[in-house]
Amino acid sequence: MFLIISILSACSHVDTDKVDRLNAKAYFYHFKNIDSTYAYAKKALALSRGYDAGAAEALNNLAFVDIVKMDYPGAAKKLNKILSITNNQVELMIADVQLMRLCQRKSNNKEFYDYYELALRHQRRIHEEEERLSEHQAKRLLYAKSEFSIVTSVYYYYVGLGESSHKAIESINPEVLLQGDTAQYLSYLYNVGAGGIPIKEHQDDVYQQEFDYLARCYIMARQLHYDYWEANSLQALSEHLITPQSRDKLIKDNLPTIKYINVDEMPDSLLAGNLAQRATDLFRSYGDVYQIASSYRTLASCYWQIADYNSAIACLENTLAENKSIQQAPDLIASIREQLSVFYSAVNDKHSSDYNRNIYLDLQERTRQDRYLESHAGQLEATSRQLNIMIVEVVLMIAFVLCLLLFFHYLRRRKSNENSLEKLLQPLEEWRERNANDLQLMEEKCEEIQEEYYISKANVSKNKKRNIEKRAKLFLVSTITPFIDRMLHEITRLKSTTEAAQLRDERYLYISELTSKINDYNDVLTQWIQLHQGALSMYIESFPLQNIFDVVIKSKTSFLLKEIELDIKPTSAVVKADKVLTLFMLNTLADNARKFTDAGGKVTIVAKEEPNYVEISVEDTGKGIAEADLAHIFEHKAIVDYKNSESHGFGLMNCQGIINKYKKTSNLFSVCCLKAESQVGKGSRFFFRLPKGITRILILLFVICNGFITVANAKSSTLPRSATQATNHRLQYLDLANIYADSAYYSNIKGNYEKTLSFADTCRYYLNQYYLQLRPNGRYLMKRTGELTAIPAELQWLHDNFPTNYSIILDIRNESAVAALALHDWELYKYNNNVYTLLFKENSADKTLGEYCRMMQRSESNKSVAVILLIVLLLSIFPLYYFMYYRHRFYFQFYMERVKQMNEILLSSDAPTIKKTAINEILSDKFPEELKDIATKIQQALQQSIESRELSKTNIELAEDELRKMDFEDNKLHISNNILDNCLSTLKHETMYYPSRISQLVSGKDQELQSIDELATYYKELYTILSMQATRHLSSIKPICQPVSVKNILSRHIQTESPEMANYTILGDEDLLIYLFEIIHKLSGNENSLIHIEPIANEYLLFKIPMPSLRLTDEECLMLFSPSVEHIPYLICRQIVRENADATNHHRCGVTAISNDGKVHIEIILTRTK
């Protein structure tokens, strides 16, 4: 890119020096020959392609030419072009200055100030790098600066701001100009001379000094052939020489100079005209349209002075007609029109005079400086208003956007508060409900277990009752043993000794008595057993066999310890039987198999389903059983016969007993059997058959609930508006002045000019009065007429910022001027017109206009900046909104997602502990406050749920354990009861025969002694074996020995004599003790009874229970605990007390019946808690 640019610049290389030279030449001819300037500038422009500064300079020169020729649009176009083609600050400044001149000519005040500002700005820029300027550029700068000051000065001069004009020209250093730029020096001289710049005490002195400047200008211009300046100085000199007063003095004071100037040697009175004529001619040849008109105006003044009114009028009319382009300069036209009105008035052409005066006044009005206030200031104000509107709009926009954002924020917040947060909490609620349901279910389960526990407990106590009864039966059995022993003893005696026959008979008799007693006892036992025959003691149910297998597999360890493999084949079979007894059988068979199998062997348990039954077999690889033994394996004979050998013991007998019991219970169990197959050395197979059962299926249903969604609405509000108004006051004097001014105007219209002047006098009087009212020591009072050079009072007022109505003054001065004009009172007219013009200009001129413009511009730019800033602010609201709110929103959203995730986890089907770890992973400290709340809530709820679940679980587990314990005890008792049942019935069946037989044989006495002996011995052995089987089994039920409060065991109907008695505690099994008192209560005839309790030796408690329903003798009381069917309840009581004594090791415990005159009471001694 850089390369391309450099090549291009090389190709389009221009001779800048040449362009500069051409431009310099063009500049040189500025005030000499405008055509040469044009030609050179044109050439320079043509050559300056690519040389911006050169082109700009050329254009500046061309614009100069255009201005001279009054081609203002062309000039403006060229100058504006400069602004766009270069950034050469000097040329730009020159262009600005030319534009300023253009504006001054066209009376475009506002634009003038704009360019004035721009020029100043460029000047400042140039100032920053002034030393770097080339010589040519320095010259141009000099021109620019001086031209700037001069144009400014001229502008101020024309708008009537003499002071500002003076200041502007003062800023020029004439020495420098004299050195650097002759043309500009001449311009300086001319402007000082023509523009009323010098300030002197006497007007004559001012004229003199001006004359000096102008003369110097003329001489120099003439010498150096600056035609333009020569003409200008001539014209100015001419103006100075028009009035006879100043002319005579000047001519008298400057004779040599006058002589030099008066080349045509005109008489003094015609010199001014001559000079004007020469100026006109020079301008004509030079080609400056504006100046031609201006010089004609001067010429006309000269004609007027010599009272050649018609020539003057012709001259001016000619000027106006000659070149229409001068219409572009309103000031010029205005002055021409003013002169014309005077001239026409002088020739008494009132109509034309008025016409021209009106044009003059109109132009005054149009070009007055504060037009700017109406047009440009208006424009500025418009832009300013526009800007204000924009600012307001932007501010409103910002407010609106902010409100909108706030509203959205509020909506979201509400939504988020009411909905999303609620929504976030909804799953928690749902989960809580679910959780509560779960907990409820768990609690229900716990309750169920509890209920089962109570059922089980009731079963246990029932079984305990049965058990104690069976123990009582067994005790009865054991009481028979001494009888048998005594029998055997008698037999031994009979065999070994030869006693007297009587004694032998006694012995035989005793034996028969014993046998009959045994028979009696057996009868009691038989009846006792039959007493409960009807009641089913087995729990028959259908159950999957696998359940049993699962329990058996627990004994795997004991097999492993013996290095035997236990193989249990899974099964789907369902059987109908007593579960506990089935388990007992299977365990018994498995234990036997283990016992008879050596290390390395294998025990297999398998169930085989057949159409009618399920066969459960236990197979081992043990030593096997001989065929002879196999036949009797389930009989007690095997035990009797092989007393010292290892035997299957009572286990198989018990199993056989259970199978027999099934068979006895129902026909359904006819398929039941227990069998064994064996081969010595190879192993055995024991199997039993049970009927098939029916399976049941349970179906569970779940119901899920739904939540609700809520919707929110928004509200809006309006703002009231207010306005204020102000009022004004008027002043009396001014009102009167105004009335007289109006009257003057009307009298002028009526042509009553004398009256006009008197009205004007009155009006002035009131204005002066007003002035004096406000300024009692005021020196300046308005006059009717006066010196033109002196400052009029109203102008002084204006300068002093006196607050009066200047429009009244202007009116009155104008009307006075018109009246004076009509009355041909030229002095009065001049004074009034002059005052009017000055006041009009000064009043409308605004010293602070530049400042005001600058301020307006500054404020405009400030406002622009404000607008931009506001827009930036507006735009920045969005990122700010993002940062301030939306980021939070995103952040919030992000964490909300997390909470949602937590909720999902919460509602998932995982275990609470897994949920907790998952949620803890998500949880962090960065959560926003509201969400943190929810998150902690979720966490806490979960934690709580885990805790309560854990508690529930523990409760359930504990309850289950309790239940299992109860079930276990129940089962144990159940088995024990059944086995005892079997044992007792076997004992009864097997031994019933022998006592009767012995009894029969006893009658045969000595002949049968041998048989009796054999029979009795066998009877004893069998009896011992069978009773041992039962007794052995008793030890499987461990006695319970716990402290029990008396009040807990007494039934509702039994009361203690005093309440303290109920607080005693005794040791024992609560269930059995309750049973004891139940029986006692029953025996007492189910009546409410009052018992007495007293401690014995601090170790026992004696319970004295009255038995009102019993009427017994002492003998009968003694016999109450001897075996008989009627005494069964007493026997049970005795058994309970006996067990209690045995468990507590307190032998005094017992139960006795005591008769007192037939009234019976029972005394029970039980062990007291220490």
Partner 1 sequence: MEKFKVIIVEDVPLELKGTEGIFRNEIPEAKVIGTAENEIAYWKLIKNELPDLVLLDLGLGGSTTIGVEICRQTKEMYPALKVLIFTGEIINEKLWVDVLDAGADGICLKSGELLTRGDVASVMAGKQLVFNQPILEKIVSRFKQSVNSRLMHQEAMINYEIDEYDERFLRHLALGYTKEQITNLRGMPFGVKSLEKRQNELVQKLFGESRGGMNINATRLVVRALELRIIDIDNLHSDEE
Closer residue to partner 1 (CB): 507 or 813: 507
Q: Which is nearer to partner 1, 299 or 1151 (CB)?
A: 1151
Q: Cβ atoms within 10 A of the Cβ of 492, count?
A: 13
Contact residues for 535 (Cβ-Cβ < 8 A; gap 6+): none
CB atoms within 10 A of CB 509: 12
Nearer to partner 1, 1091 or 1141 (CB): 1141
Min dist CB 514 to partner 1, Å, is 7
Smallest gap from Cβ 546 to partner 1, in A, equals 25
Taking a C-beta distance cutoff of 8 angstroms, is the pair 600, 563 a contact?
Answer: yes
**Residue number, 969 or 1139, with CB nearest to partner 1:** 1139
In 10 A of CB 254, how many CB atoms?
A: 16
Alpha-carbon span 464 to 83, nearest angstrom:
125
DSSP H or E stretch at residue 575: strand 574-578
Q: Minimum Å distance from CB 973 to partner 1?
A: 21
The nearer residue to partner 1, 499 or 957, going by C-beta atoms, is: 499
Q: Give min distance, CB of 486 to partner 1, in A.
A: 5
**1159: which strand partners?**
1111, 1156
Which pair of structure tokens corresponds to residue 149? 């000051």
Q: Please, what is the minimum distance in Å from the beta carbon of residue 1009 to partner 1?
A: 17
Question: Closest CB to partner 1 among 507 and 916?
Answer: 507
Q: Can you read off the two tokens belonging to residue 636?
A: 């007690």
Looking at 992-1094, list the stretches that DSSP marks H as alpha helix, in order from N- to C-terminal side.
993-1002, 1009-1034, 1046-1049, 1070-1083
State the burial class of residue 700 (Cβ atoms within 10 Å of its Cβ: 0-12, 13-18, 19+): exposed
CB 616 within 8 A of CB 586: yes
Nearest distance from C-beta of residue 928 to partner 1, angstroms: 55
CB of 1122 to partner 1, least distance (A): 7
Asked whether 51 and 18 are in contact (CB, 8 A), the reply is no
> At its nearest, how many Å lie between partner 1 and the CB of residue 1090?
22
Nearer to partner 1, 156 or 1100 (CB): 1100
53-68 burial, b at 16+ Cβ within 10 Å, e below that, comes to bbbbbbbbbbbbbbbb
State the Cα angle at 743 between 740 and 749, rounded to 5°: 150
Nearer to partner 1, 458 or 1028 (CB): 1028
Of 178, 345, 146, 248, nearest to 824 by C-alpha is 345
Q: How far is the CB of 500 from partner 1 (least distance, A)?
A: 10
Place of tokens 């300068």: 799
Alpha-carbon span 985 to 980, nearest angstrom: 8
Q: Which is nearer to partner 1, 802 or 1121 (CB)?
A: 1121
Nearer to partner 1, 353 or 621 (CB): 621
Tokens read off for 154: 């001229």
Shortest spacing between CB 1004 and partner 1, in angstroms = 21
Nearer to partner 1, 4 or 500 (CB): 500
CB-nearer residue toward partner 1: 771 or 994: 994
Q: How far is the CB of 1138 from partner 1 (least distance, A)?
A: 4
Minimum gap (Å) between residue 1012 Cβ and partner 1: 16
Q: Which two tokens stand for residue 95?
A: 């262009």
Amino acid at the residue 1036:
S
Which residues are near partner 1 by CB under 8 A? 475, 478-479, 481-483, 485-486, 489-490, 492-493, 499, 503, 506-507, 510, 513-514, 517, 557, 560-563, 599, 1031, 1118, 1120-1122, 1130, 1133-1134, 1137-1138, 1141-1142, 1145, 1147-1153, 1165
Nearer to partner 1, 676 or 1066 (CB): 1066
**Cβ 488 to partner 1 shortest distance, Å:** 8
- The rounded distance, in Å, linking the Cα atoms of 1126 and 1128 is 6
Taking the complex as a whole, the smallest distance from the CB of residue 564 to partner 1 amounts, in Å, to 8
Q: Pick between residue 954 and residue 1145 the one whose CB is nearest to partner 1.
A: 1145
Report the distance separating Cα 1 and Cα 632, nearest Å: 124
Q: Taking each helix axis from N to C terminus, what angle separates 1009-1034 and 993-1002, rounded to the nearest 10 degrees?
A: 160
Sheet holding 565-568, edge to edge: 565-568, 602-609, 613-620, 683-691, 673-679
Please tell me the distance from the alpha carbon of residue 848 to that of residue 854, in angstroms, as a whole number. 10
Nearest to 373 by CA among 810, 839, 859, 844: 844
Residue 339 structure tokens: 């002169």
Structure tokens at 1094: 């007293």
| Closer residue to partner 1, CB minimum distance, 509 or 774 | 509
**What value, to the nearest 5°, has the Cα angle with vertex 1025 and ends 1020 and 1026?**
100
Provide the β-strand partners of residue 1066. 1044, 1168
Cβ atoms of 966 and 460 closer than 8 Å: yes
* Residue 470 C-beta: closest distance to partner 1, Å: 17
**Residue with smaller CB distance to partner 1, 100 or 568:** 568
Q: Is 1160 helix (H, G, I), strand (E, B) or coil?
A: strand
**C-beta of 1147: minimal distance to partner 1 in Å?**
4
What is the H or E stretch that residue 1044 is in? strand 1042-1045
**Quick one: 108 or 597, whose CB is closer to partner 1?**
597
- What is the nearest approach in angstroms of partner 1 to the Cβ of residue 1149? 7
At its nearest, how many Å lie between partner 1 and the CB of residue 1023? 12
Residue 815 near residue 831, CB atoms below 8 Å: no
Structure tokens given for 123: 């000047």
Asked whether the beta carbons of 1067 and 1041 are under 8 A apart, the reply is: yes
Beta carbons of 975 and 538 less than 8 angstroms apart = no
User: Strand 1065-1068 to strand 1042-1045: parallel, antiparallel, or no bridges (unpaired)?
Assistant: antiparallel
Rank residues 437 and 1036 by Cβ distance to partner 1 and give the closer one: 1036
* CB proximity list for 14: less than 8 A, separation 6 or greater: 47, 48, 49, 50, 51, 54
